[in-house]
Amino acid sequence: MRGVEPRRICVYAGSSPGADPAYAAAARELGRQLVERGFGLVYGGAHVGLMGAVADAALAAGGEAIGVLPRALERRELAHRGLTELHLVDSMHERKLLMSELAGAFVALPGGLGTLDEVAEALTWTQLGLQAKPVGLLDVRGYWDELERQLDHAVRERFLPPAQRGLLLRDGRVDDLLDRLEAWRPATTDKWMGTGGRELLAVGPRGPLVGTSAVVVRDGRVLLGRRRGAHGASTWAFPGGKPEPGEAPHDAAARELEEETGLVALAVEPIAWTNDLFEDEGLHFVTLHHRVEVAADCEPQLREPHKAQEWSWHRWDELPAPLFGPVTALAASGWRPEDVANA
């Protein structure tokens, strides 16, 4: 593994063994394979949890295990007393800096806040060019899935350049992850994002998410509002939104209708669902459309002006432009206001 210098791997890991025995098994496998490949281990210096498991495995295989531990934690009797070297430092900041100086690459086992902090800092230093060292996640039983989703979300929202997204390596197998660390080379792209469009977006849309619509029909006309906000601004849309946790879609449609327009649903029936991809925003919604009956003598009010500019009635064969994606999709499905609602 000539691509990693110094010839040590820094391992970040939880001070707990975790709920699944697979976590400790992966820690032991990582410690053993580091030694087999001729690498020393640098880690947080404790004898407990996954930290202790990876160190014990490396030592049992005859390898080098170097710990870096704040003195405050040594006083809590967390120090591993059988290490090749144990460096005591005054702060967590000194700990992370020394671990980085002693190692040529980083691997994160499952862990909590401390592990997340360490991974983020190491990755940021590599992103900024303060070091040229790879960072990888050992993804035991999909432990890091949610972190990966959050990073993809950061790309969509233009806080993380797409080219930098690939800096963080991830694999569920120890040998494959170590191979990828060996093959890693520093990126040549700039951290700073330009002001252009989203043509460099390298991740799929977030979702599918669930949305609901309230299709209110009166005298052959449907109620539409001109949207405000970043999502679908200035397009014409049905009242609607996302269900609350545990809320049924038909209840969400009735609630959103009342919150946005003041109209109270007397009856709610499902119409159809549409598959709505908003490529510019990196979003994928499945919208569940509902036909909603309201009192004939009630008119919509502008209850949430931050969400809609106006409400008005429109004939289905004379819909205004531009239309919000789910409205276009429902129209393209062939549904018409006079149709009998179908589940």
Domains of the chain are 8-183 (3.40.50.450), 206-332 (3.90.79.10)
Q: Is the N-terminal amide bond of 305 cis, ω within 30° of 0?
A: no
β-sheet bridge partners, residue 315: 221
CA distance 135 to 152: 17
What tokens does 221 get?
């006309």
CA distance 130 to 123: 10
Find the helix or strand (DSSP H, E) in which 59 lies.
Answer: helix 49-60
Contacts with 129 (C-beta within 8 Å, 6 or more apart), sequence order: 186, 191
CA distance 339 to 174: 58
Q: pLDDT in tens for each of the 343 residues of the chain?
A: 346 778 999 999 999 999 999 999 999 999 999 999 999 999 999 999 999 999 999 999 999 999 999 999 887 779 999 999 999 999 999 999 999 999 999 999 999 999 999 999 999 999 888 899 999 999 999 999 999 889 988 888 888 888 788 889 999 999 999 999 988 887 655 555 554 444 444 556 666 889 999 999 998 899 999 998 767 889 999 999 999 988 999 999 999 999 999 999 999 999 999 998 887 767 789 999 999 999 999 999 999 988 899 999 999 999 999 999 999 999 999 999 886 444 3
Q: How far is CA 302 from CA 38, 232, 233, 242, 243, in A?
A: 69, 18, 16, 19, 21
What's the whole-model pTM score?
Answer: 0.59
Count of residues for the chain? 343
CA distance 223 to 140: 50
